[in-house]
């Protein structure tokens, strides 16, 4: 079977079998004296970062690749992969970043299929094409777009249903935004959501299997999403310092706990996929560690409000954060990822 053909094969069973075989061989090959454990790698660690807008850190300027179609990925020059790599270098752990292919709008299946860019700007190759046989570390976040989180937000907001850069349509545009909490907890809305979660779980499983196939020696790290809505949703009734819009704009107060439950369910699904992965995978639980830095935490917020101006401009107009990590949130992501990478590489 040619390399090109193998790059497009989609059978999860094949990937699981291959990944398990490789993992067993790797474990036997790596078995050595007990004294070798716990030493930081002496050589640079070949690393690939993958993911969506939460890895590319949409909203933070400046961005990479402004002279090519990849500029539409809105990948920040100082996204969390770049910040984490610098942090690790300060601790004597050097990452040889073979690629950072994170791109805003990426769905899980864009790991093995081409991604169409907005406004007919072109297409990008599958993210898995960045993997090499000698890749030793892979890190990234995917799942939120496959779940349809922007569609969920639009279901709950008349403001977000207006034309914008935020992709997708509401799940059911005939249902009023004011009743979105009820919509997702029963009937067609709940059925749609359950189906989306099934798809996310299956596709993330395939993603990890594919990494195991194309980069058999790589440690696999799946990074969860930071918490957007606080436990105390009354905090979302107050604007952040210097802002005129509420953190979640016109989304109904009673829908905020529902949005939080959906996000927690996504986090739990990602954690389970990592825990169940053949050959082992690690998970960075950002949801669990960012409860004091949600979009509603005022000066401590690590998430830019839905309609709060980000650092980006398009045609002279500021682009909203659309509930993405701001600089503080990016730094939290970077620290958690760097800590996990250090733990893994020192095993």
Under a CB-based contact definition with an 8 Å cutoff, are residues 307 and 299 in contact? Answer: no
Question: Whats the size of the chain, residue-wise?
Answer: 347
Which tokens is 142 given?
């995917």
Query: Minimal CA–CA distance to 323: which of 59, 37, 56?
Result: 59
**Residues whose CB falls within 8 Å of the CB of residue 146, separated by 6 or more in sequence, listed in order:** 107, 108, 109, 196, 199, 200, 203
Exactly one of 51, 53, 57, 310 is catalytic; name it.
53
Which uninterrupted H or E stretch holds 78? Answer: none
Q: Could you confirm whether 141 is annotated as catalytic?
A: no
Under a CB-based contact definition with an 8 Å cutoff, are residues 230 and 136 in contact? Answer: no
Q: Could you confirm whether 109 is annotated as catalytic?
A: no
User: Residue with structure tokens 């802002």?
Assistant: 243
Exactly one of 51, 59, 104, 105 is catalytic; name it.
105
Exactly one of 102, 324, 326, 329 is catalytic; name it.
324
Q: Could you confirm whether 105 is annotated as catalytic?
A: yes
Residue 24 pairs in a beta bridge with none
Q: Could you confirm whether 53 is annotated as catalytic?
A: yes
Exactly one of 56, 64, 145, 267 is catalytic; name it.
145
Question: Distance between CA 298 and CA 285 in Å, rounded?
Answer: 22
Catalytic residues: 53, 105, 145, 324
């Amino acid at each position: 079977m040619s390399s090109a053909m193998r790059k497009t094969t989609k059978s999860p069973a094949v990937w699981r079998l291959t990944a398990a075989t490789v993992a067993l061989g790797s474990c036997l090959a790596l078995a050595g004296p007990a004294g070798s454990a716990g030493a930081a790698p002496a050589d640079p660690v070949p690393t690939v970062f993958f993911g969506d807008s939460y890895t590319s850190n949409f909203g933070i300027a400046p961005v990479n690749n402004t002279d090519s179609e990849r500029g539409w990925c809105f990948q920040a020059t100082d996204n969390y992969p770049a910040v984490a790599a610098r942090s690790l270098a300060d601790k004597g752990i050097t990452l040889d970043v073979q690629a950072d292919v994170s791109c805003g709008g990426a769905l899980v299946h864009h790991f093995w299929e081409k991604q169409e860019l907005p406004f007919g700007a072109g297409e990008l190759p599958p993210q898995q094409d960045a993997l090499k046989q000698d890749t030793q570390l892979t890190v990234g976040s995917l799942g939120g777009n496959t779940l349809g989180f922007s569609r969920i937000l639009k279901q709950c907001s008349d403001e977000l249903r207006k034309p914008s850069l935020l992709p997708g349509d509401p799940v059911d545009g005939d249902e009023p935004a004011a009743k979105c909490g009820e919509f997702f907890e029963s009937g067609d809305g709940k059925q749609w959501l359950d189906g989306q979660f099934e798809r996310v779980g299956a596709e993330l499983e395939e993603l990890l299997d594919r990494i195991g196939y194309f980069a058999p020696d790589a440690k696999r790290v799946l990074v969860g999403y930071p918490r957007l809505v606080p436990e105390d949703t009354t905090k979302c009734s107050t604007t952040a310092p210097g802002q005129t819009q509420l953190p979640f704009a016109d989304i109904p107060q009673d829908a905020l706990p529902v949005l939080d439950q959906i996000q927690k369910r996504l986090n739990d699904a990602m954690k389970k996929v990592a825990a169940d992965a053949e050959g082992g995978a690690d998970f960075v639980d950002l949801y669990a560690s960012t409860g004091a830095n949600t979009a509603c935490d005022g000066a401590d917020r690590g998430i830019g409000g839905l309609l709060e101006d980000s650092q980006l401009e398009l045609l002279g107009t500021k682009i909203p954060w659309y509930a993405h990590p701001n600089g503080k949130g990016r730094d939290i992501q970077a620290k958690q990822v760097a800590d996990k990478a250090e733990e893994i590489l020192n095993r």
